[in-house]
Amino acid sequence: MKTTLKKRETMHMLCLKGLELFHNKGFYNTSLDDILNELSLSKGAFYHHFKSKEDFFINIVQNLVVQKVYALLVEPLHTQDNPLHVIVDSLERALEPSKGNEMAYGFMLNDFLTEFNKRNKEIHRYLKDILNVWEVNLISVLKKGKLDGHIARHVDCEGVATYIISSYLGMRSLLMDNSNEGQLKYQYIQQLKQYCKVLSEQESLA
């Protein structure tokens, strides 16, 4: 049991360091030597854990990015509350970094999608699948909101989900290294609330 926990802790730390490295330099600008230096591993030790640089990246996505996206953006949707309130709240929280830890944003997905587009179809498809999970859950909760009377019947749930995902990804890009971060986030959330008002039969978002 202790051995298993120790192994998990080791893998988690390796993935955390790898995520920071890939996010800062980009996957294709990061060499194996960069990884070995960052992780303080010999080449043999690295290949004991991972088959390749690509395999290491997939492990990072599986162990960190998927969990963070699910925790921030999917899990909150599983509620009986008004889905419009829940969506706004989840996006507001997802745009808020933990103090002193920018990596806690946990949502480098957009950066990686851009980098792997037309360069590695397999990894790009894998990353797209993460977005698809969020999209499917958004559509599901929006449709339930229509049945429960929170959302107007004429609303195109698929179109709304596409808009929400696209606006969030765009906002994440704008917030990177922007000194106006607080104001941009405030403006985005206020406009999102106005948009949700249009979707709501109650014409109100508290």
The 3-class SS string of 9-53 reads HHHHHHHHHHHHHHHHHCCCCCCHHHHHHHHCCCHHHHHHHCCCH
**Burial classification of residue 50, based on how many CB atoms lie within 10 Å of its CB (0-12 exposed, 13-18 middle, 19 or more buried):** buried
- 63: in domain: yes
What confidence tier does 172 reach under pLDDT thresholds 50, 70, 90?
confident
Domain tally, the chain: 1
Q: What is the pLDDT of residue 133?
A: 94
- Mean pLDDT for the chain overall: 86
pLDDT, tens digit (0-9, with 9 covering 90-100), for 23-34: 889 999 999 999
Domain that holds residue 188: 53-199
Exposed/middle/buried for residue 71 (C-beta within 10 Å: 0-12, 13-18, 19+): middle
pLDDT tops 90 at residue 2: no
Question: Which tens digits make up the pLDDT trace of 70-80?
Answer: 888 999 998 88
Q: Tell me if 151 is assigned to some domain.
A: yes
Query: Is 185 contained in some domain?
Result: yes
92 within domain boundaries: yes
Task: Kindly state whether residue 42 falls inside one of the protein's structural domains.
Answer: no
For residue 98, list its beta bridge partners.
Answer: 101
Q: What is the band of 178 on the pLDDT scale with cuts at 50, 70, 90?
A: low
CATH number, residue 128: 1.10.357.10
Residue 40: inside a domain, yes or no?
no
Instruction: State pLDDT tens for residues 191-206.
Output: 999 999 999 865 444 4
- Burial level of 177, CB count in 10 A (0-12/13-18/19+)? exposed
| Per-residue model confidence (pLDDT) at position 100 | 44
In a domain, residue 173? The reply is: yes
